[in-house]
Chain A
Amino acid sequence: EVQSVESGGGLVQPGGSLRLSCVASGFTFSSYWMSWVRQAPGKGLEWVASIKEDGSEEYYVDSVKGRFAISRDNAKNSQFLQMNSLRAEDTAVYYCVRGRSNFRFWGQGTLVTVSS
């Protein structure tokens, strides 16, 4: 069974940092692009970032470029999202998702709240 489990969310002050982690299982992690998609409270879905199978390519939505960094560790079946200079508008549930086009498998999400 394909599973992804996110962790690392929480309450952080504006300007602060958080690192999200996602551990995946049930598939050959190193064979798939991985992505992060977020959802602000009561709002729609927003793609945040994607990383290639070997980590050699990364793509971001404009609103997080220069502040967020996606990475992965294929040996640990894990991907990460380093989030710096956090803003109130980054408040959302962050989902770890397999793929970069068809988002077929999603984690349960981790809530990030940016507030003073």
Chain B
Amino acid sequence: DIQMTQSPSSLSASVGDRVTITCQASQDISNYLNWYQQKPGKAPKLLIYDASNLETGVPAVFSGGGSGTDFTFTISSLQPEDTATYYCQQFVNLPRTFGQGTKVEIK
């Protein structure tokens, strides 16, 4: 199975800050990577697909990059409504696997 390792596990930043989360795959996954946002008590929401493509309707404050084994997810200007847990997920093969999540809070 492909292991997905996110860092940090949690972070606290100020409104307007640029926030970056990293995700590392245990083997080359090309660009077969998605990013999700999950708010408390809610289902996850797809934000970024194929490593860098913004899902329809998702604000451009969110972005993704990387390929191979190393990926990044960035919030360019953190807002209170971005408080959530963010997950990466690979889909190059089965089983589909997720990172452990990064909890983002406002300082």
Contacts and interface: CB of A to CB of B under 8 A. Distances in A.
B99 A103 contact: no
Interface of B is mostly: loop
Contacts of A11: none
How many chain A residues sit at the interface, stated as a range, is 10 to 19
Contacts, number: 50
Interface string A13-37: 0000000000000000000000100
B23 to A, nearest CB: 13
A108 B43 contact: yes
Interface string B60-93: 0000000000000000000000000001010100
B87 A95 contact: no
Interface stretch (A44-52, A67-75, A77-85): A44-52
Contacts of B43: 95, 106-109
Interface of B: 32, 34, 36, 38, 43-46, 49-50, 55, 87, 89, 91, 94-101
